[in-house]
Structure 1
């Protein structure tokens, strides 16, 4: 529960940063519901799925030698990241109340850019994560980096 609440808090913080620093909404246009939605997604979806994925990946590719870390990063970024992002973006849209048609249009509009941006950020982070960080601390390590990623995702998924 503690990791889920931390993950939720970081998703919420990313949304606050997006609304206040990127979108410059100010307090009068701040959308509390949006922040709570992002925090809920972090607690109920992102934290459990990513944490479970790391355990599965460590069983699939045991070890933490350089080549093991490289294999894990390739599988993570080649298989998991595209699927995860393809689930996360529509989930955000659904909880934002988008119709199926509008959600599909948003996914078509945003998915490629989000995946490309993912590839700028996450491969080096994950390589370090899988090579240097013990399994028990991996989720915590990526959570530190994820504040920037969550800010981007919030901005990307809520722009008109």
Structure 2
């Protein structure tokens, strides 16, 4: 989350180090550490117990459960939290979420062992968080 915000500020918004909003980055780090990491990591453990295995069919089942069950609840909470902190618009983010995460998750569940899934999704999330941070903090 913090890396996404730094990238948003430095590469997308081109703020430069003098104009970097450190508090904004710290807010994103706090959301990542206190909410995103623990919740998503716990979900992956639950999901692996619900649907064990690593076949293509299992990966599709996990993606359907993830995107159909977990993602709407998680993203509702996430957007509410970031919205309270940064003024995010739910409508603007929802269409992007639907385009990005299903393909990422099907690959994640098929190719990546449970112990590495959170790391993989967080790498992809850097790009997503960069977008969210930029969108949430546009002036």
Q: Structure 1: how far apart are the matches of 2:92 and 2:82? A: 16
List gaps (5 residues or longer) in structure 2: none
Residue 123 of structure 2 is aligned to residue 133 of structure 1? no
Deviations 1:93-130 (Å, cap 9, x if unpaired)? 3335xxxxxx5xx4xxx223312212222111111111
C-alpha RMSD over aligned residues: 1.6
Normalising by the residue count of structure 1, what TM-score does the alignment of the two structures yield? 0.79
* Higher RCO (C-alpha under 8 Å, 6+ residues apart): 2
Closer, same or farther: CA 64–112 of 1 in aligned 2, 3 Å: farther
| 1:6 corresponds to | none
CA drift of 1:134 comes to: 0.9
CA drift of 1:18 comes to: 0.9
Residue 28 of structure 2 is aligned to residue 38 of structure 1? yes
Normalising by the residue count of structure 2, what TM-score does the alignment of the two structures yield? 0.90
Equivalent pairs, count: 139
List gaps (5 residues or longer) in structure 1: 1-10, 97-102
Deviations 1:58-107 (Å, cap 9, x if unpaired)? 122222211111011011112222221211122123335xxxxxx5xx4x
CA drift of 1:153 comes to: 1.4
Q: Structure 1: how far apart are the matches of 2:90 and 2:55? A: 32
| 2:79 corresponds to | 89
